[in-house]
Structure 1
Amino acid sequence: MDSIDLDVLKASARWIQGGRRVLLVTVVRTWGSSPRPEGAMLAIGEDGSVAGSVSGGCIEDDLIDRVRRLGIRQTRPEAVKYGISAEEAHRFGLPCGGTIELVLEPLTRDSRIDDLCRRVMAGEVVRRSLDMESGEVRLVPGSSAEGVAFDGRRLLTVHGPRHRMLVIGAGQLSRYLCEIALGLDYKVTVCDPREEYSDTWQVPGTTLVRTMPDDTVLDMKLDDRCAVIALTHDPKLDDLALMEALRTPAFYVGALGSRRNNTARRERLETHFDLSKEELARLRGPVGIYIGSRTPPEIAISILAEVTAAKNGVTLPDGLRIDEAKSALDVAANEQTSCIPDGFRQT
């Protein structure tokens, strides 16, 4: 769950406790392009107060206007669609042809929003089941792999804590990567036992630890909402962290380095740390996607693009992998060189 969605739940719970009626709006289906993904939420108080978003703004405006004019009269959830026609798509700020389906749920104390917030804040992943006919809500343990499901009779949503990111190394690249990762709503921990780096670390919003990386991995109890990125170039630090991280359910484990260094790293991990081929296959390295990046900010974007794809379950083409892309460039360069007459080649 993104922090914006947790904020929606917290605001809803607060308004309900204050005696206000609240309408919770959830994106349940999209067709074509849409500004917000399935599961995105918007809470509207009976006075027009809002938290969250479900579109670029125009759908929110329409829903807020309805609440202000008519109040929250409904007593049961209902499903509505926006953007079915090109005219509506233009009116509501959706890309032409885009359609979004929403569930409008009037909240009460029986909606268990307060209980849901407590469990999420405690680190649980919770599946919330909403019966569209009765409005009855059930909360059961969930999995991050589950998504939004809606069949017209029941709405299932999954709620959990923010995704976490562990960055090994507090160097210059880490600073740019962490600043962007915070904007992507990760809870970021930076681990570096080296005083010359950790003493100068200054990125507000991150947590700095000076313990050994493998101990940090174990202490964090990584789950499938976690990413680990090793950036020190020091095998004594990176390898130990990777060894432990590859044995966890973390959705992304990657390490910076050249193709040669990456090959050597895999050999070390297999030979000296007894990692299986299946565990080694999870290692992303050289880390990132190929965008011709050279500067630390560009490399950070390259890495986080790959992390984002993994988080969203997107399989990238082999041509975007750094090792594949650079190998293809090497082949192209060799072919170009072979076409030059011998007398014109530089030596």
Structure 2
Amino acid sequence: MDNIDLEVLKTCSQWLASGLRCELVTVLKTWGSSPRPEGSMLAICEDGRVVGSVSGGCIEDDMIDRARREGLNRVQPGIVTYGITADEAHRFGLPCGGTIELAIEPLSPASQLGELLRRLEAGELVARRVDLQTGAVTLSTALPTQSMQVSSSALVTLHGPRWRLLIIGAGQLSRFVAQIAQGMDYAVTVCDPREEYRDSWQVAGVELATGMPDDVVQAMKLDSRCAVIALTHDPKLDDLALMEALRSEAFYVGAIGSRLNNQRRRERLAEHFDLNEEQLGKLHGPIGLYIGSKTPPEIAISILAELTAVKNAVALPQAANVADAKRELGLPPTGEVCIVSG
């Protein structure tokens, strides 16, 4: 599953290959409420087709109408603004007085989309610089800590995964977590030393590691843009890896299992691996948010929803926690529904 930005770039490349004119639109800045964050992209074709989004749909409708009536005649990149006045804000569905600033870039073979896609396919994080005066494009390797930059002379956007996710276990649940996470712009690694599980792994775009999970955790050199999810239910695979992950800078570390199993896991980690209270406090388990999930896809959504809340520093109510929610419902700590991931 491609993330939205990659889908936009691939579609632009296909339109150009078909001899169609198209433009790439990037959100530079917003004031007030906005449905799409800075850096969001949209591509528009001369026949009015669009992919991606820069608003809730109202600005897209205006661009489609203009493309069909006037064609795409822009020669150089430019910056346009929607919603300066209250009337425009109402017309385009923006909050009264709200503003959204967009860069519009006419694309051509010189836009280097083919080279960009090749480097993204190789897993590289790429900075794409567009000269706003000439339209010239240059590509360079970027750092995860970089962010989009815009000035009167140039626009620099980042492309490629800036977040990494390690999934321990190559079972059924892991496949759904990996697929959704790729669409969320994570570079996903699945680790499973068990031949019977890794031989049936079939998720494209995911790196498959066959070593012991704790060795893989160490080799990845986890930083603050990394997350680790243990899904095997096997302490021999999970515990050592969790120990290493909890001692790292990973922003999220979680493990599947019932409340009772997670309590036992915490006791093992404290007793045998000498983790302190602060390190143990980083462990999320039972993993995910309580949404009544039963099937693997629902559980994957629950897990990634919690991971996203932590990533975005959103403080969730205690009732959203699986353990607290089930305790409030009077459910026993054993016999809870869970999907064996491997």
**Structures share a fold, TM > 0.5?**
yes
Structure 1 residue 102 displacement after superposition: 0.8
Structure-2 residue corresponding to 1:337:
none
Structure-1 residue corresponding to 2:308:
308
Q: Is 1:36 equivalent to 2:32 in the alignment?
A: no
**Cα distance change on mapping 1:175 and 1:11 into 2, 3 Å:** closer
Which residues in structure 2 correspond to 1:44-123 (within 5 Å)?
Answer: 44-94=44-94, 98-123=98-123
**Cα distance change on mapping 1:137 and 1:190 into 2, 3 Å:** closer
Rounded Cα–Cα distance in structure 2 between residues aligned with 1:267 and 1:139: 49
Supply the RMSD in Å over aligned alpha carbons.
4.3
| Consecutive unaligned residues in structure 2, runs of 5 or more | 329-342
1:182–1:205: 8 Å Cα contact kept in structure 2?
no
**Cα distance change on mapping 1:270 and 1:142 into 2, 3 Å:** farther
Structure 1 residue 321 displacement after superposition: 7.7
SS in 1 for 2:130: strand
Rounded Cα–Cα distance in structure 2 between residues aligned with 1:108 and 1:206: 28
Structure-2 residue corresponding to 1:229:
229
Moved more, 211-220 or 233-242: 211-220
Structure 1 residue 315 displacement after superposition: 4.1
Structure-2 residue corresponding to 1:143:
143
1:5–1:41: 8 Å Cα contact kept in structure 2?
yes
Which residues in structure 2 correspond to 1:208-287 (within 5 Å)?
Answer: 212-215=212-215, 217=217, 226-246=226-246, 250-256=250-256, 265=265, 268-269=268-269, 272-273=272-273, 282-287=282-287
Rounded Cα–Cα distance in structure 2 between residues aligned with 1:25 and 1:234: 47
Structure-2 residue corresponding to 1:338:
none
2:82–2:88: 8 Å Cα contact kept in structure 1?
yes
Structure 1 residue 82 displacement after superposition: 1.8
Rounded Cα–Cα distance in structure 2 between residues aligned with 1:68 and 1:89: 23
**Cα distance change on mapping 1:154 and 1:319 into 2, 3 Å:** farther
Rounded Cα–Cα distance in structure 1 between residues aligned with 2:139 and 2:175: 39
SS in 1 for 2:120: helix
Structure 1 residue 160 displacement after superposition: 0.8
Q: Which amino acid aligns with 1:59?
A: I
Structure-1 residue corresponding to 2:133:
133
1:124-174 residue CA offsets vs partner (Å, 9 max, x unmatched): 112223332333333232233333333444322211138554433467866
Structure 1 residue 228 displacement after superposition: 1.8
Structure 1 residue 251 displacement after superposition: 4.0
Structure-2 residue corresponding to 1:336:
none
Structure-1 residue corresponding to 2:13:
13
Q: Which amino acid aligns with 2:15?
A: W
Rounded Cα–Cα distance in structure 2 between residues aligned with 1:72 and 1:161: 31
Rounded Cα–Cα distance in structure 2 between residues aligned with 1:194 and 1:96: 58
Rounded Cα–Cα distance in structure 2 between residues aligned with 1:267 and 1:155: 51
1:21-63 residue CA offsets vs partner (Å, 9 max, x unmatched): 3311001112222222211111223343433222232322221
SS in 1 for 2:155: strand
- Identical columns (%): 58
Aligned length: 327
SS in 2 for 1:307: helix
**Cα distance change on mapping 1:276 and 1:125 into 2, 3 Å:** farther
SS in 1 for 2:39: coil
Structure-2 residue corresponding to 1:168:
168
SS in 1 for 2:139: strand
Rounded Cα–Cα distance in structure 2 between residues aligned with 1:176 and 1:293: 17
Structure-2 residue corresponding to 1:4:
4
Normalising by structure 2, we get a TM-score of 0.72
Rounded Cα–Cα distance in structure 2 between residues aligned with 1:49 and 1:318: 42
Structure 1 residue 106 displacement after superposition: 1.7
1:42-96 residue CA offsets vs partner (Å, 9 max, x unmatched): 1223343433222232322221232333333333221112233444334334455
SS in 2 for 1:75: coil
Q: Which amino acid aligns with 2:167?
A: V
SS in 2 for 1:214: helix
Structure 1 residue 265 displacement after superposition: 4.2
SS in 1 for 2:313: coil
SS in 2 for 1:5: helix
Rounded Cα–Cα distance in structure 2 between residues aligned with 1:23 and 1:264: 56
**Cα distance change on mapping 1:276 and 1:10 into 2, 3 Å:** farther
SS in 2 for 1:6: helix
1:191-226 residue CA offsets vs partner (Å, 9 max, x unmatched): 556799x49x89977968776433554677767654
